[in-house]
Chains A and B, each alone.
Chain A
């Protein structure tokens, strides 16, 4: 079975486009975060390179690439080199299943604005967020350093704990849309967004994804005050850069998923679908930065208690209530 060459070309174009947009956006999100945090803290932030400091990401990239690539003594060579890629790749691969616009007619066919529309798209997202744990865990372990190891053990425990509440918060979405396919979930929200039916699931999902991308107030794996820089303490140059950019790719991808599951995806009045999707996704990114500028870090036992004893039971109750409601409604 050989697929049509035009289909292959269209897929390749979509993949290249997604890579380019996500990586550029992640680099500029770093810049936006520094400017917004500076604004919150009444500072100026980076404003010297280019107009308004807009070329700062380029300068940072040159700095990262020209730094010495350092490997600590006694480190596990291959795992130390591989771990940053293991952290960044699953995040960007998840974007393959997110629909970022309405299908458009092109070359006599309906081209979906999505790299691939799997009938298990939602499960693919959960699978890849489970795989992303390995980058954090192996990076810290392979560094042969106390701080890095402590950071990665914290990261491991945190990620697997909040994955559960994240997955459970998505069950009501599947119940309402009756599908694992992300395009069908978006289509089911044409009339009314799921955030209206499921405000509780949305809040649980939002808290869980903040914990999943290890952001303040859940940034214990890298807690600067106690663990130097946590799991990536021993990394330098572009390998550190991959961990760092991976975090911002994760923010964009998880923001996009929250948009798809709860905020109606690309649906919206007047403006074109792609613009609506971008606005909603970037709103999540700004919210994450805002939260970072506002909240202090949790203590480790508080983090675990909150995840296991509050969020997970709440998500289970929410599933039960949704099920009852669906049965009563018929």
Chain B
């Protein structure tokens, strides 16, 4: 049951993501990417991580992509008909990255010793947050400081300048 669902979702994710990077129109690309995030959230849920699934939907689909869309709609960046196929030199970093990811995936598949333990139970929210804020407390503080810097920076850039 879960396996059938997983394969359906995986197909949706792969197709939607490919369409998101090949689609020329930015708004359509966003719709495809949101579809992919949505399916990914369900995959997280199947992996017994409901909290991550919800964060995927709230933060990525609900906040980040909505802001992208807001910018595209405000600046009227539709069309995109004159976008040319990038040259090979521009594609090189992406190709290198793709090669590294594929190679590490290949290593994982060949060297797998069937040691991935199945999730024995759904960890509840309390367990998850206690671990997060005690074991990884310092990391959380550092990340929140970084977000605070970003907010202050945005405020500075968006301040009203004297004429």
Residues on A close to B: CB < 8 A? 1-2, 76, 79, 118-120, 123-124, 126-128, 130-131, 133-134, 137-138, 141, 149, 152-153, 156-157, 160, 163, 178-180
Q: Is there an interface contact between A130 and B125, defined as CB atoms closer than 8 Å?
A: no
Q: Is there an interface contact between A157 and B70, defined as CB atoms closer than 8 Å?
A: yes
Give the most central of B50, B51, B54, B73: most A CB within 10 Å.
Answer: B54
| Chain A minimum-CB-distance residue to B126 | A178
Q: Is there an interface contact between B66 and A137, defined as CB atoms closer than 8 Å?
A: yes
Q: Which of B54-78 contact A (CB under 8 A)?
A: 54-55, 57-58, 61-63, 66-67, 69-70, 73-74
Option from B2, B51, B62, B74 in Cβ contact (under 8 Å) with A130: B62
B1: interface (CB < 8 Å): yes
With contacts A126-B58, A130-B58, A157-B70 taken as known, whether A119 is within 8 angstroms of B31 at the C-beta atoms is no
Q: Chain A's nearest CB lies how many Å from the CB of B65?
A: 9
Q: Is there an interface contact between A160 and B66, defined as CB atoms closer than 8 Å?
A: yes
B55 surroundings in chain A (CB, below 8 A): 123
Residues on B close to A: CB < 8 A? 1-2, 27-28, 31, 34, 38, 50-51, 53-55, 57-58, 61-63, 66-67, 69-70, 73-74, 122, 124-126
Option from B61, B66, B122, B124 in Cβ contact (under 8 Å) with A156: B66
A149 surroundings in chain B (CB, below 8 A): 73
B70 surroundings in chain A (CB, below 8 A): 137, 153, 156-157, 160
Give the most central of A127, A131, A156, A157: most B CB within 10 Å.
Answer: A127
Option from B28, B62, B73 in Cβ contact (under 8 Å) with A153: B73
Q: Is there an interface contact between B27 and A153, defined as CB atoms closer than 8 Å?
A: no
A138 surroundings in chain B (CB, below 8 A): 27, 31
29 pairs, A vs B, C-beta closer than 8 Å: A79-B28, A120-B50, A120-B51, A120-B54, A123-B55, A126-B58, A127-B54, A128-B57, A130-B58, A130-B61, A130-B66, A131-B38, A131-B57, A131-B61, A133-B62, A133-B66, A134-B34, A134-B66, A137-B66, A137-B70, A137-B73, A138-B27, A138-B31, A141-B27, A157-B70, A160-B63, A163-B62, A179-B125, A180-B125
Work out how many contacts link A and B, with CB atoms closer than 8 A. Answer: 73
| Chain B minimum-CB-distance residue to A133 | B66
Provide the bound-state CA to CA distance between A123 and B56, in Å.
11
| Chain B minimum-CB-distance residue to A142 | B27
Provide the bound-state CA to CA distance between A128 and B38, in Å.
11
Q: Is there an interface contact between A156 and B73, defined as CB atoms closer than 8 Å?
A: yes
Q: Is there an interface contact between A131 and B125, defined as CB atoms closer than 8 Å?
A: no
Provide the bound-state CA to CA distance between A133 and B65, in Å.
11
| Chain B minimum-CB-distance residue to A123 | B54
Provide the bound-state CA to CA distance between A112 and B49, in Å.
23
Q: Is there an interface contact between B73 and A130, defined as CB atoms closer than 8 Å?
A: no
Q: Is there an interface contact between A137 and B69, defined as CB atoms closer than 8 Å?
A: yes
Q: Chain A's nearest CB lies how many Å from the CB of B150?
A: 16
Provide the bound-state CA to CA distance between A133 and B31, in Å.
12
Option from B2, B51, B126 in Cβ contact (under 8 Å) with A123: B51
Q: Chain B's nearest CB lies how many Å from the CB of A18?
A: 21
Q: Is there an interface contact between A79 and B27, defined as CB atoms closer than 8 Å?
A: yes
Provide the bound-state CA to CA distance between A179 and B122, in Å.
15
B1 surroundings in chain A (CB, below 8 A): 1-2
Q: Chain B's nearest CB lies how many Å from the CB of A308?
A: 12
Provide the bound-state CA to CA distance between A2 and B1, in Å.
7
